[in-house]
Amino acid sequence: MYSVAGVNVYVIERKVAPTIHEVARAARVSIATVSRVINGLNAGYTKETRDRVLRVVDKLGYAPNTIARTMITRKTGAIGVLVPDLSSMFSAHILRGIEECSLRNGRNVFVSHTESNGRRTLDYLKVLYEKRIDGVIFLSEVLRPEYRAYLEKHSIPVVLLATRTPAGDIPYVKVDDRAASYDGVSALIGLGHRSIGMLSGSMEDPIAGAPRVEGYRSALADHGIRVDDSLIIDAHGFHFGCVEQAGSRIDPLLSRVTAFFCASDELAAGLLNHVIRRGLDVPGSMSILGYDDLPITTMVIPSLSTIRQPLVEMGDCAAMMLLDLVDSAAGRKQQVFPHTVVLRESTRDLGKG
């Protein structure tokens, strides 16, 4: 686009913000008194001075510089959230819970998109620390030794969300993945399914991978169904797109199972798409069960049955736990949220015809 010099240029001039000194001078009091008033200390000034100060504050449009306050109180009121995947529905919901709690408590949240990249995560951790955030929430990824070392070295309060350390020695909030999968697969069995496949996220993932497969196995075993490893497919990820890459491994199973348990709703949506395009009917000839209960479950046809995790509440809780830790140097060690199996249209009851 052609633009005459200056036409597409925007110029601003920034006026300097008034400081506590200006307020003090205009109100004919000391800065100490102004400080007392704006911080609402219950003593140290008469009603008259208070009103006078407040009037000046209003007139000057004075707003305290939190940065300066931070230097003294050593609390920035900011927390960092490390998200592996910023544009997934999953992260978006969790983030909303975190943000909500933060707002309620007068804190702000820095979003940090790590893309599951070690270098980037470490860089972010560094920047956040230099900004002296009060703490961080680490989302749905394995807390690598390097991350942990950094956090401990600088004693940065942290709570893990939708993930945990093997020893459980760092505060976390999660659902019980193994139990959730167990219940979901049991529900499938309850519907009459005996040949059930699994589309796993990433089997090496010790949090959202292995435990969900384990739950699947136990459910089958406990119901007297032989576990057939060839019915388990590793999608190497939890995204919609991962299904396509696993397509050729999925196809051979289509005639061998009547149902598929997927480690995420996106995988379930991907599988649904894949299966329908292969000409199969869902749930007529194939049932599908997802995990998470994201909005996508009700946007597709048939709507997806799933295992619900209360993501927003979990985010809120994690933020609350972190703030407790920040404010009182102590807090809960973990919080396990209840899951719910939600049956919609994508799962067929084989009992009824």
Partner DNA sequence: ATGAAAGCGCTAACAG
Partner DNA sequence: CTGTTAGCGCTTTCAT
CB of 107 to DNA, least distance (A): 16
Which residues make beta-bridge pairs with 292?
A: 308
Helix axes 89-104, 311-328, angle to 10 degrees: 40
Q: Find where tokens 């990820």 sit.
A: 237
Task: Compute how many residues bind DNA; rule: CB under 7 A.
Answer: 28
Using the rule CB under 7 A, is 58 a contact of DNA?
A: no
Q: Does 19 bind DNA (CB under 7 A)?
A: yes
Of 2, 4, 5, 13, which lies in the binding site for its own copies, with binding defined by CB under 8 A? 13
322 in Cβ contact with 172 (< 8 Å): no
CA-CA distance, 254 to 341, in Å (whole number)?
24
Using rule CB under 7 A, residue 21 touches DNA? yes
Nearer to its own copies, 208 or 269 (CB): 269
Nearer to its own copies by C-beta: 83 or 189? 83
Q: Which is nearer to its own copies, 14 or 352 (CB)?
A: 14
Confirm or reject binding of residue 45 to DNA (CB under 7 A). yes
Q: Would you count residue 70 as binding its own copies (CB under 8 A)?
A: yes
Residue 343 C-beta: closest distance to DNA, Å: 54
Q: Where are the alpha helices (DSSP H) in 199-288?
A: 210-222, 240-250, 265-277
Single out the residue of 294, 301, 233 nearest to residue 262, CA to CA: 233
Asked if 326 touches DNA (CB under 7 A), the answer is no
Residue 334 interacts with DNA (CB under 7 A): yes or no: no
Q: Is 69 in the site for DNA (CB under 7 A)?
A: yes
Residues 133-162 touching its own copies, rule: CB under 8 A, are: 153-155, 157
Please, which residues have CB within 8 angstroms of residue 97's CB and are 6 or more apart in sequence? Answer: 311, 312, 313, 314, 315, 316, 317, 318, 319
Beta-strand runs (E) in 48-134? 78-83, 108-113
Return the ∠ at Cα 316 (arms to 175 and 265), rounded to 5°.
45
From CA 79, how far away is CA 225, in angstroms rounded?
47
Binding to its own copies by residue 32, rule CB under 8 A?
no
User: In this chain, which stretch among 42-50, 60-68, 180-188, 227-235 interacts with its own copies, using CB under 8 A?
Assistant: 60-68
Near its own copies in 159-198, by CB under 8 A: 170-171
In the complex, the smallest distance separating the C-beta of residue 16 from DNA, rounded to whole angstroms, is: 6
Q: By CB under 8 A, is residue 353 in contact with its own copies? A: no
The type of residue at 218 is S
Residue 81: beta bridge partners?
A: 111, 137
Query: In the chain, what is the greatest distance between 2 CA atoms, to the nearest angstrom?
Result: 86
Residue 140 in contact with DNA, rule: CB under 7 A: no
Q: In 3-state terms, what secondary structure has residue 12?
A: coil
* Residue 51 interacts with DNA (CB under 7 A): yes or no: no
Q: Letter for the amino acid at 71?
A: M
Q: Which of 51, 55, 73, 103 binds DNA (CB under 7 A)?
A: 73
Judged by CB under 8 A, does residue 325 bind its own copies?
yes
Contacts of 191 by beta carbon, 8 Å cutoff, 6+ apart: 259, 287, 347, 348, 349, 350, 351
Number of residues that bind its own copies (CB under 8 A): 77
Q: Which position among 25, 38, 60, 89 is part of the footprint of DNA (CB under 7 A)?
A: 38
Please report, as ranges, the residues that interact with DNA according to CB under 7 A.
Answer: 16-17, 19-21, 28-33, 35-36, 38-39, 43-46, 48-49, 64-65, 68-69, 71-73
